[in-house]
Amino acid sequence: MSIPVHTLPASPLRVAVAQAPLVPLDIAANAATAAALVRRAAAQGARLLLLSELFLTGYETVGIAADPDTLTVAPDDPRLAPLAAACAGTGTAVVVGAPVRDRDTGTLHIAALALDGSGRTAAVYRKQFATPNERAAGFSPGTGGCTLELDGWRLGIGVCWDSGFPEHARAAALDGAHAYLVGALFGTGPGAHQRRTVFPARALDNTLYVLLANHVGRSGPYTGCGLSAAWGPDGHLLAEAAEDAPELLTVDLDPAVLARARTDDPVLLQPGLTTTPTRTTATLSTTGGAGSCAMGKRATAHITAQPEPS
């Protein structure tokens, strides 16, 4: 059952996002990189580190699908041991992108693993909006959302294209999320424009903090545009990494700022927010007559035009 969206944390939370070059299809090497980043984030006081989509393999969907026995990750995977040890040694949690496979069905998913401050895999979120290319490569969409709880903060999790669907972040917000954390691969070119457009909108739409961890440099067939970042609950940019270099950012999530944003713009308390109102369709014509949009009914009609006189 969802908690009320107006329930706020009692104290600030420092979180980190990082972008780093990866070794293609080398889970052990990338887990070691993630472990080092956890220790760096902890040294800066972060309670959680967010890493990019498929961080543990790189965005190598074709290679993963060709050898899922080797290139998918399980919660008890021994290759995660250095990362789990870093979390346990610092008390800092991590959300890291990885490919997973359902043990019963063999279905492949692009996922985000959440390891808590004891090193335990606390959650596995499966990307709900797999892209057409990902589905063609053999990856299936997940069927449910995921919210993490840390120090009184509720953190909704997304993976890349999830963020392109407003209802995904809205579902997290209606589940009481105070922040929306997305590991992604946005490439140079159109991807850079998408990340500049989508993430402040998700923050403003739902009056929550939004954090993005992106790839930097080559990853599979794409070149990540970097620019990992954080936005406040009013949509303003708080911190942003470089386009073409490794970087780790920290940001403080402040309950007072969250409360002010939700007081100034109480979108999550709007009556009827979770219902779909009826819609009507009216015919527009260039000839005389009147149409109407009758409330409570749904109709289908065509837009028509009479030929012009010769």
Tell me: pLDDT of 275 over 60: yes
| Helix count and strand count (H, E) for the chain | 8, 14
Tell me: pLDDT of 48 over 60: yes
Q: What is the DSSP string of 177-206?
A: -SEEEEE---BTTHHHHHHHHHHHHHHHHH
Tell me: pLDDT of 217 over 70: yes
Q: Which CATH entry fits the domain spanning 13-269: 3.40.50.800, 3.40.50.1000, 3.60.110.10, 3.40.605.10?
A: 3.60.110.10
The domain segmentation of the chain, as residue ranges, is 13-269
CA distance 173 to 177: 5
What is the per-residue pLDDT across 156-165, written as a single tens digit (0 to 9) for each?
Answer: 999 999 999 9
* Torsion, Cα of 107, 170, 274, 176 (10° steps): 100
Q: Mean of the pLDDT values across residues 42-55? A: 98
What is the per-residue pLDDT across 113-147, written as a single tens digit (0 to 9) for each?
Answer: 999 999 999 999 999 999 999 999 999 999 999 99
Looking at the annotation, which residues are catalytic?
53, 127, 160
Tell me: pLDDT of 2 over 70: no
Q: What is the pTM of this model?
A: 0.90
Amino acid letter at 231? W
Indicate the average pLDDT of the chain.
92
